[in-house]
Structure 1
Amino acid sequence: MSKDTGFSISSAERYSLALFELSEENGLLGQIEEQSLSVLNLIDQSKDFFHLIKDPTTSHEDLSKIINKIAENNKFDNLFRNFLNFLIQKRRFFFIERILKSFIEICSKKRGELTAELKSAKKLSSDEIKKITDELSTNFKSKIKLNYKHDESLIGGLVVHVGSTMVDTSIKNKLQQIENRMIEA
């Protein structure tokens, strides 16, 4: 069992707050936020990269080489590259996804935005995403930062999370509700 099992949400928030403060002090907040999003997208889109991060047998040297190569190819700022390598040295890179998501939430909160997650069964156009974002902004009376994800497992419909509010109009959810009613009957 790993000794990192005690790593909590508050620990991730401390690392993300440190990254936020360093980025803000150096006038790099926008750049670091974009670079964080690109790392999160890489984690989300590449199963190999995801498994590499979670694999405890990967040496710190190998992981550092890979991260430095990714940083070089994506022209990451030195501050962000050093932060990623710091996490590797402190054996915290396993939690990079949690740390970067927390960092992006801090950035959104400082701009007065609410973060929303949208999942749809069909691929949405940028116009459709913009309309949904505008509608959410109107309904919640706040700027909305929308994270969109195409999820074919929903079969049809949408799932929207804004803070603690969730709207699930997916066919998958409706089928689950029908199944639950059948089990109860």
Structure 2
Amino acid sequence: MKNTVANEEIAAPYAQALMTVAKSNNLTEAFGNDARGLVTLLSESKELRNFFDNPFASIESKKVVINRVLGDDTNAFFRNFLMLLVDRKRIYLLDGICQQYLTLLRELNQTVLAEVISAVPLSEAQEQAVKERVISMTQAREVELSKKVDSELIGGVIIKVGSQVIDASLRGQLRRLSLRLTSS
């Protein structure tokens, strides 16, 4: 199923419950690492997403796949939570639950998520400069970067933090220049 507003509303209490379990067992960061891993895996594997979305796949087969995917190093509380999602036929919400959990974790840690789109991969120094710029804009304690490469930018970067967008790309500068020239 596609993520809809209804799915997000259903996923929210599960993410809250996962955060409650994580806080009570001092495992917020460990759960965050597991959630990040699952989000990455689900974004890279359409087959896995389709399998979890498939209502005809048996509960037992979904549990077997989860155990294989997680490996032995995953926390027992997190594993049990995923098994509960399978039992309640809510595993199709896994991506949304993990995304919302990560949002709650960022709020807890006073961290903001900044999406950075660049023409080429950023160097460590450039990433640090972006983080410093975002911290000065938002007064956050830390910045988590979501990096994407888009060769159509020609050069520069676009930084998105919440609803704020800083377009320092060459494509954006050319577009603004074109608008100024056509409006003159």
| TM-score (normalised: structure 2) | 0.79
Contact 1:154 1:171 (C-alpha < 8 Å) held by counterparts: no
Structure 1 pair 46–172 and aligned structure 2 pair: CA distance change class (3 A): farther
Q: Give the structure 1 partner of residue 179 of structure 2.
A: none
Tell me by how many angstroms 1:174 deviates: 7.8
Q: Which residue is equivalent to 1:69? A: 68
Letter of the aligned partner of 2:149 in structure 1?
D
- Assess, with a 3 A threshold, how the Cα gap between structure 1 residues 173 and 31 changes in structure 2: closer, same or farther: same
Alpha-carbon distance, 1:28 to partner: 1.1
Q: Go from structure 1 to structure 2 and tell me whether the alpha carbon gap of 1:37 and 1:6 turns closer, same or farther (over 3 Å shift).
A: closer
Change (3 A) 1:136 1:19: same
Q: 1:128 aligns with which of 126, 129, 137?
A: 126
1:13 corresponds to 2:12: yes
Q: How far does the alpha carbon of each residue in 1:80-106 deviate from its partner, in whole angstroms, 9 at most, with x for none?
A: 111111112212111211111111111
- Paired with 1:170 and 1:51, the residues of 2 have a C-alpha distance of 36
* 8 Å contact from structure 1 (residues 33, 104) kept in 2: yes
Distance 1:64 1:133, change over 3 A: same
Q: CA deviation at 1:53?
A: 3.2
* Structure 2 match to 1:118: 116
> Match of 2:126, SS?
helix
Cα distance in structure 2, aligned partners of 1:108 and 1:171: 31
Matches within 5 A, 1:12-91: 12-72=11-71, 75-91=73-89
Question: 8 Å contact 2:116–2:157 — kept in the other structure?
Answer: yes
| Compared CA separation, residues 137 and 5, structure 1 to 2 (3 A) | closer
**Rg larger in 1 or in 2?**
2
**Structure 2: stretches of 5+ with no match in the other structure:** 177-184
CA distance in 2, matches of 1:175, 1:46: 37
* 8 A Cα contact 2:35 2:98, kept in partner: yes
Which ranges in structure 1 are unaligned for 5 or more consecutive residues? Answer: 178-185
Query: Residues 5 and 152 from structure 1, CA distance in 2 versus in 1: closer, same or farther, beyond 3 angstroms?
Result: closer
Whichever residue aligns with residue 147 of structure 1, its letter is L
Distance 1:43 1:176 in 2: 35
What is the distance in 2 between the residues matched to 1:153 and 1:47? 25
Are 1:94 and 2:92 counterparts? yes
The alpha-carbon deviation at position 173 of structure 1 amounts to: 6.8
Structure 2 CA distance for partners of 1:172 and 1:43, relative to 1, 3 Å? farther
CA-to-aligned-CA distance 1:72-125 (integer Å, 9 cap, x gap): 25x110111111111122121112111111111111111222222223332223
What corresponds to 2:141 in structure 1?
143
